[in-house]
Amino acid sequence: MIVLLLLVTLCAHGGKGEESAGAPRSGHVSVVIVGGTGDLAKKYLWQGFFELYVHQVGSGNTFSFYGGGLSPADAATPALFEILKAVSCSKDASEERCALLKEQFLRLARYRQLKTLEDYQALAEHIGRELQQEGITEAGRLFYLSLPAFAYVDVADKINRSCRPTGGPWLRVVLEKPFGHDIRSAEVLATQLEGSLKDEEMYRIDHYLGKQVVAKILPFRVENKKFLDPIWNKHHIERVEIVMKETLDVKGRISFYDQYGVIRDVLQNHLTEVMTLLMMRLPTNLSSSEEILQRKLQIFSSMLPLRKNQAVVGQYQAYQTTVQQETNKTKDHVSRTPTYAGIDFATRKIASMLKPQKVIKQDGDCFTIKTFTTFKNYESLFKIGEEVKEVTKGMDNRTCHTVVNWEDDKLVCVQKGEKKNRGWTHWIHGDELHLELTCEDQVCKQIYKRTL
């Protein structure tokens, strides 16, 4: 599963660099996990890199792995090896083969202190020396930044200044969300990183896309296209609900979580990605990251801006106590960070479905105007100059007295009732029907295009 994580995310974002550099070079690959004894590395990354190694070991590439951190090597090396000893093989590997692969992996991995620029320079020299001693060519260097985002800029700068390979080998730097906490800080971060890394060198990944179910959404849609095509549309799908239920609370993560909250933590990234995978038009080429990106962008540009009444946020009860405990605050400290969010949104496509159609019939002085929308249809019947009792529809559900008259070539309707200045004016201009609706001080204008 974790191998899927890495391959999928790397492919999805990374076609470009490889294309411009021609076929990937084979040779030696140095993998550096900066933050190599941290929580993410312990839980996922080393296991993922081990599986990647197992898959790649026969491919003609050779590897070395470095766990980097702020602590000195003598203190952190035992901790790293505790993590590495816990990696496991897939079920289909025999016990002997697994033991052999683990032993090799452990021999290829070591801890490096990566704190100062000199530490990074020393790492680069070490890599260079090993390549020379072994007499092998270098394929590239991969840095995985398993760090809080505030450290990205500094580390990226150190990598650029000391660890950038010269000549043909590639450089790749993987960064995880969150990229700042709002659009401004995200833009600042992006600009600062640009100073140290080329765009094709940066892999901004969302690990959620590596989850098996999420990674399989597009392949599932492609493989079942024949069956899904007839029903994957507005006629058969009323709405799509994307639900993520957490079974764990945020104990132990408050210092991070309380600054971000549920929207930044999972909604604007993980769940939004799932939404695009479900909604986007299928790419013709599943391997083309550029095409997938464009299809995703189409979805984003079709989303209507959210209004206040489309979102509900909340917080689970025990959250306050956990915040007070973990931040050493008193009982009167209140955190307003949401731990629950539900949003309801529509896209422009859906909005355009709501566009009504009108059919107007005229028989002398008698008119019938039928309006069709996806939700309801209505009809109004009137004769010029004759007052009729009418129940107005929509928000303003009242009975009023309506009279329609010609004013030059415009049909003008006046509706007398509780609301002042209520009515409408209809006129035709070329191929268009113009409709101006008024109610008190509000005016709405609609233009219909002739279709028949």
Ligand X SMILES: *[C@@H]1O[C@H](CO)[C@@H](O)[C@H](O)[C@H]1NC(C)=O
In angstroms, give the least distance from the CB of 160 to ligand X: 4
> What single DSSP character describes residue 199?
G
Q: Amino acid identity of 217?
A: I
In angstroms, give the least distance from the CB of 202 to ligand X: 10
Greatest C-alpha distance within the chain: 101
Phi, psi of 170 (to 5 degrees): -90, 160
In angstroms, give the least distance from the CB of 243 to ligand X: 30
Question: Hey, what are 187's tokens?
Answer: 């833009």
In angstroms, give the least distance from the CB of 330 to ligand X: 12
Q: In what order do the strands lie in the sheet with 357-363?
A: 357-363, 366-372, 377-383
In angstroms, give the least distance from the CB of 386 to ligand X: 23
Helix pair angle (183-194, 152-162), 10° resolution: 10
- Between 129 and 198, CB nearer to ligand X: 198
CA angle 30, 34, 35 (to 5 degrees): 140
In angstroms, give the least distance from the CB of 19 to ligand X: 7
CA angle 356, 228, 8 (to 5 degrees): 110
Q: Which residues pair with 423 in a beta bridge?
A: 414, 438
Would you call 270 a catalytic residue per the annotation? yes
Provide the binding-site residues for ligand X, judged by CB under 6 A. Answer: 15, 160-161, 195-198, 285, 287-288, 327-328, 397
- Between 43 and 198, CB nearer to ligand X: 198
* Cα separation values, 311 from 190, 299, 339, Å: 29, 19, 13
In angstroms, give the least distance from the CB of 395 to ligand X: 8
Q: d(Cα 418, Cα 397) in Å, to the nearest integer? A: 11
- Between 212 and 287, CB nearer to ligand X: 287
CB 439 within 8 A of CB 396: yes
CB 207 within 8 A of CB 44: yes
Phi, psi of 56 (to 5 degrees): -95, -10
Tell me which of 13, 28, 207, 270 is the catalytic residue: 270
Closest CA to 261 of 217, 323, 308: 323
- Report strand pairing: 410-416 vs 422-429: antiparallel
- CA dihedral sign of residues 348, 352, 353, 355: positive
Closest CA to 152 of 170, 174, 171, 184: 174
Question: Hey, what are 242's tokens?
Answer: 């994307």
- Between 293 and 346, CB nearer to ligand X: 293
Closest CA to 169 of 61, 34, 24: 24
Q: d(Cα 96, Cα 273) in Å, to the nearest integer? A: 40
In angstroms, give the least distance from the CB of 175 to ligand X: 15
In angstroms, give the least distance from the CB of 399 to ligand X: 8
> What single DSSP character describes residue 347?
B
Question: Hey, what are 219's tokens?
Answer: 């392949």
Q: Amino acid identity of 103?
A: E
Contacts of 431 (CB under 8 A, 6+ apart): 449, 450
Report the catalytic residues: 270
